[in-house]
Structure 1
Amino acid sequence: MRKTTVPAQAPTMQAQFVDVTPALAEKWLRQNTHNRNIREKAVLAYARDMEAGNWAENGEAIKFAADGTLLDGQHRLNAVALAGVTVRMLVITGLENATQETMDAGSKRRTADAFGLRGETNASVLSSITKRVWMWDQGDYGFNGASPTTAEAAALLGQRPDLRRSTDIAVRTHQSFRCLPQSIVGTAHHLFTRIDRNATVWFFQRLADGAELPAGHPILTLRTRAVSEAADHRKTPAGRQMAYLIRTWNAVREGRSLARILQDADGPMPMPK
């Protein structure tokens, strides 16, 4: 008679919703013994959404192995502890340790994807402009810091629906003049509109077509600079391109010519006037 081998019983998976307090999050993090490195920007972004009450209960779970090891959720738990708030989360236990290799393997949904699902026109450009305006309002004038979460970007768009108009202008300008990124053009349009709506209309019409501008006009100088950098395939930082637009705008507002546009790498960002 052949001997039959009885397979070991597989772990029993269970799922439940739990109100995760900061103390409970810290306790569970002590079971985080085998995981990837923490991304601090993600923790800070999650914490901001949790503090603001924008954290969505979307079915994504905190996951534990049958032996108690935390497999997935370290960034969310760190955010709960940092924010100091209680967040209701789905918790799954009883998984096999090997399943950790398959977690977070999909493509992350971006703000542009969320805007597209809402039916926004030019969702990718709108997302980029909204993010840059949010960063500018946080005092990140060089666009080097943390980006807003999808919830923060959506909230800003709700507060400032004219960001859609700035997106339209950025897309139209790009059709005629492709040497400046749409995200920077749209951000500048939004900021300049806050100062003088009528002057902003004329400024971006001339940026797009360069028509009827005398030699030495700031907009012609900007166009020449942007064309030169594009032809040389230079990777110009977004903050420097923003400075170019602001220096041009200020010169136009002050009625002076502009022979060159200079912006030191470490120089302060000019403010639009």
Structure 2
Amino acid sequence: MSTAMLARSAKAAQHETCHIVTLTPDLARKWLERNTHNRKPRPGRVEQYARDMTAGRWEFNGDAIRFDHNGVMLDGQHRCHAVVKSGVTIRVLVVDNLTPEAQNTMDRPGVREMRDQLGLAGEYNTGMLAAILRRLVAYTAGSRSIDGGRVNPTQGEMREFLDTYPQVREAVVVSVKAQKYLSCAPSVVGTAYYICAECDRAAADQFFVTQLIEGIGLTATSPARALAKRLNDLGSTRGRVNGDDALRYIFVAWNAYRAGRGLTRLQAPKGGWTAANFPNPR
């Protein structure tokens, strides 16, 4: 950096300030009036932040809301919208008097993902665990889609789920076993295993591990046999089965297994899957 550039940088730094502010919904509304040079807000992200704030999961982490020397908001619009939406007051770090050009270096790639957070917490198979947690939080929130449905879980929601239901880790073991044998995302199998184990753990171990994955004790009409064939047939034509479809087929086969009813084939209902014909596990 040249001497002139160093001098300009030092001069600018004299005017930059940072402080912690109690951000109320009313103050957030006033700040959003200064949000005149920014990308369009993402409603999904606002909804995520607002859910965490409402549930008390929002943590002060030092990420700043930033303004330039003209008072224009450069960063922080999603947090402000979420405070307004949730009605919750939070503490935030505020940096003022930045140059407008500073916005060009914000929101660069490299966000710490859920798998990274789990790794820092000492978890194993963190990618699989994160995928199962994401699917389970969406499912338990009432979404009948675990592949990009209306519920997009936050990291706080996933951490809370794992803390409340540590047996999710057992589903990871099943997923790892399944990934060599079935043509669907192994995290879908782990998700289904967890949900079905809540109904009957011993039956879930027998159906998923012994029969579906290991192929032991199958007959011509075993639901697990029909399920494996359906998933692998679809996988041979589509590459990998859609996660939502796989979950539905798994639940149909599981319900047949639990009822002691034989199956020789599996297929979607006429007209396709709907909320009305979703096969809830029993």
Instruction: Assess same fold via TM > 0.5.
Output: yes
Partners of 1:112 and 1:124 within 8 A in 2: yes
Kindly provide the CA deviation profile for residues 77-98 of structure 1, in whole angstroms up to 9, marking residues without a partner as x: 1001111111100000000001
Counterpart contact for 1:174–1:208, Cα < 8 Å: no
Larger mean Cα displacement after TM superposition, 71-80 or 262-271: 262-271
Q: Which residue of 2 aligns with 1:98?
A: 101
Residue matched to 2:117: 114
In structure 2, the gaps of 5 or more residues are: 1-6
| Cα distance in 2 for residues equivalent to 1:185 and 1:235 | 13
**CA distance in structure 1 between the aligned counterparts of 2:94 and 2:20, rounded to whole angstroms:** 6
C-alpha distance in 2 between matches for 1:239 and 1:111? 22
Q: 1:235 to 1:178 in 2, by over 3 A?
A: closer
The unaligned stretches of length 5 or more in structure 1 are 1-5
Deviation at 1:116, TM superposition (A): 1.1
TM-score, structure 1 length as denominator? 0.93
Deviates more, 1:89-98 or 1:203-212: 203-212
TM-score by length of 2: 0.90
Q: Secondary structure at the match of 2:238?
A: coil
Residue 270 of structure 1: aligned partner: 279
Identity among equivalent pairs (%): 36
Supply the distance in 1 between the matched residues of 2:157 and 2:142 (Cα, whole angstroms).
Answer: 16
- Tell me the equivalent position of 1:69: 72
**Match of residue 202, structure 1, among 203, 206, 221:** 206
Alignment of 1:155-234 (within 5 A): 155-175=160-180, 177-204=181-208, 205-234=210-239
Residue 10 of structure 1 deviates from its aligned partner by 3.5
| 2:183–2:240 Cα contact (<8 Å) kept | no
Alignment of 1:15-30 (within 5 A): 15-30=18-33
The runs of 4+ residues in structure 1 deviating greater than 6 Å are: none
Paired residue for 2:50? 47
Distance 1:172 1:96 in 2: 53
CA distance 1:232–1:23, change in 2 (3 Å) = same
Which residue identity lines up with residue 47 of structure 1 in the other structure?
A
Q: SS where residue 55 of structure 1 aligns? A: coil
The RMSD of aligned alpha carbons is: 1.7
> Aligned equivalents of 2:29 and 2:189: distance in 1?
44
Q: Please point out which of 226, 241, 247 is paired with 2:252.
A: 247
Tell me the amino acid that sits aligned with residue 248 of structure 2: A
Question: Once the 2 structures are TM-superposed, how far is the Cα of residue 217 of structure 1 from its aligned partner?
Answer: 1.8
Give the C-alpha shift of residue 46 in structure 1: 0.4
Say whether the 8 Å CA contact 2:185–2:241 is kept in structure 1.
Answer: no
Residue deviations 1:173-211 (CA, integer Å, cap 9, x gap): 224x14221211111111111111111111112111223
For residues 222 and 168 of structure 2, what CA distance do their matches in structure 1 show? Answer: 28
- Residue type at the aligned position of 2:169: R
SS in 2 for 1:68: coil
Q: SS of the counterpart of 1:141?
A: coil
Deviations 1:207-233 (A, max 9, x none): 112233111321111111111122113
Report the secondary structure of 1:216's partner residue: coil
Change (3 A) 1:43 1:7: closer
Q: What letter matches 2:268 in structure 1?
A: Q
Partner of 2:4: none
